[in-house]
């Protein structure tokens, strides 16, 4: 039991920190170069092979290890601890993300999630809140006006978008009836009849459309408005462009990162890329069906393969396919975040405050109320 949990924790850590985060760092430069008609990263090579710049994250990590690590005199301990405060909670948040479903192989039950808790989404929100203390502590301990302003911006930014971020998912919670990410993903491994609501209005000659017009029961189809709201709020909570106001190189030089160098600077950067992976994983689990394949449920897939290769092999193959599907969706969400990063200019600080308090919050409340009203009407009908 313990060894299984340890293996899952190590798998999540290795995948997010060792694979996806470095790939996100590479993709940010590569995608930006392609969108701006530039060459992009191509200098780091191994025996003349640049591998499309894939060696750059490794080369930069080695460079940061070799750099001198400086700390100001205001509070050296807090200055050195801030990068860990920003990084560790984000990695811990990945523990509640399901990267696969529930399987039974040779009498052994497998649940591909490190911590399958009832309050999974709340854990993610809590860890994002704690991680924001990292920039705040870094800004204050840096003994720099730029750093202090960046830290205060990070804290105010989270407070402004945190309420809207929670309310944007209320409609999803009501539909799936759970705060557990694995339950949400399992509920999306099926299809739903889109026209069933208007079944009484469809002529008898076209009644077959009710059974034929099917969509995956994904959160993005059930709650498309909530998808946009949640993605916007999560980008603001993780301070990703166009909401990178705590760094704002053109305004604050580097904000809370101004006085950092070496691997402590690298830890802050790592935390940002792991936050990208976390946002992509949560959005995949809640809105994109998790590991599910459209129109091909887990039971259907296992039964189709088990006829020829046995149930044990079919279940194992299904598990591998589901993990691959999940991370494919995560990569697509990472691509979308980078597309937003290279397509939109940075918001002004007052614009972000207005967006969070005057636009996102009322819209999230309205979405929750409309969802509740629709479910009540359908239930009474």
Q: Taking 60 as the threshold, does the pLDDT of residue 1 lie above it?
A: no
Residue range 322-337, pLDDT digits in tens: 999 999 999 999 999 9
Residue range 110-131, pLDDT digits in tens: 888 888 888 889 999 999 999 9
What does the radius of gyration of the chain's CA atoms come to, in whole angstroms? 23
> How many residues belong to the chain?
381
Identify the residue with better confidence: 367 or 252. Answer: 367
Instruction: List all residues 6 or more positions away from 310 whose beta carbon is below 8 Å from its beta carbon.
Output: none
Residue range 211-223, pLDDT digits in tens: 666 788 899 998 9
Backbone angles phi, psi at 291, to 5 degrees: -90, -5
Instruction: List all residues 6 or more positions away from 287 whose beta carbon is below 8 Å from its beta carbon.
Output: 172, 218, 219, 220, 223, 226, 227, 230
Bridge partners (DSSP) listed for residue 311: none
* Global pTM value: 0.90
What mean pLDDT value characterizes the chain?
Answer: 86
Residue range 185-204, pLDDT digits in tens: 999 988 877 666 555 556 66
Give the pLDDT confidence score for residue 196 in this predicted structure: 61
Q: What integer is the mean pLDDT of 70-94?
A: 87
Domains of the chain by residue range: 2-380
């Amino acid at each position: 039991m313990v060894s299984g949990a340890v293996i899952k924790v190590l798998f999540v850590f290795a995948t997010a920190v060792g694979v996806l985060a470095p790939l996100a760092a590479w993709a940010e430069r590569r995608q930006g170069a392609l969108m701006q008609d530039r060459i992009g990263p191509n200098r780091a090579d191994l025996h003349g092979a640049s591998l499309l710049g894939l060696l750059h994250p490794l080369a930069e990590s080695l460079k940061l290890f070799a750099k001198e690590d400086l700390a100001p005199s205001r509070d050296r301990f807090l200055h050195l601890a801030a990068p860990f405060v920003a990084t560790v909670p984000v990695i811990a948040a990945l523990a509640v993300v399901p990267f696969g479903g529930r399987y039974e192989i040779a009498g052994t039950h497998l649940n591909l999630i490190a911590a399958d808790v009832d309050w999974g989404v709340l854990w993610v929100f809590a860890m994002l809140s704690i991680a924001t203390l990292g920039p705040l502590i870094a800004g204050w301990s840096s003994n720099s006006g730029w750093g202090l302003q960046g830290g205060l911006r990070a804290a105010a930014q989270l407070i402004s978008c945190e309420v809207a971020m929670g309310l944007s998912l209320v409609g999803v919670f009501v539909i799936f009836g759970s705060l557990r990410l694995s339950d949400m993903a399992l509920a999306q491994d099926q299809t739903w009849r889109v026209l069933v609501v208007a079944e009484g209005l469809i002529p008898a000659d076209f009644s077959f459309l009710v059974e034929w017009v099917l969509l995956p029961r994904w959160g993005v189809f059930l709650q498309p408005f909530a998808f946009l709201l949640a993605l916007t709020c999560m980008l603001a909570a993780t301070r990703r462009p166009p909401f990178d106001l705590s760094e704002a190189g053109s305004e604050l030089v580097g904000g809370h990162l101004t006085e950092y160098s070496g691997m402590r600077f690298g830890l802050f950067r790592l935390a940002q890329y792991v936050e990208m992976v976390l946002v992509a994983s949560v959005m995949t689990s809640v809105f994109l069906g998790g590991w599910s394949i459209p129109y091909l449920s887990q039971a259907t897939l296992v039964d189709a393969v088990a006829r020829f290769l046995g149930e044990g092999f079919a279940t194992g193959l299904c598990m591998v396919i589901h993990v691959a599907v999940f991370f494919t969706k995560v990569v697509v969400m990472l691509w979308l975040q980078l597309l937003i990063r290279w397509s939109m200019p940075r918001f002004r600080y007052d614009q972000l405050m207005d967006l969070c308090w005057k636009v996102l919050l009322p819209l999230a409340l309205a979405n929750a109320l409309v969802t509740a009203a629709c479910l009540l009407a359908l239930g009474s009908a």
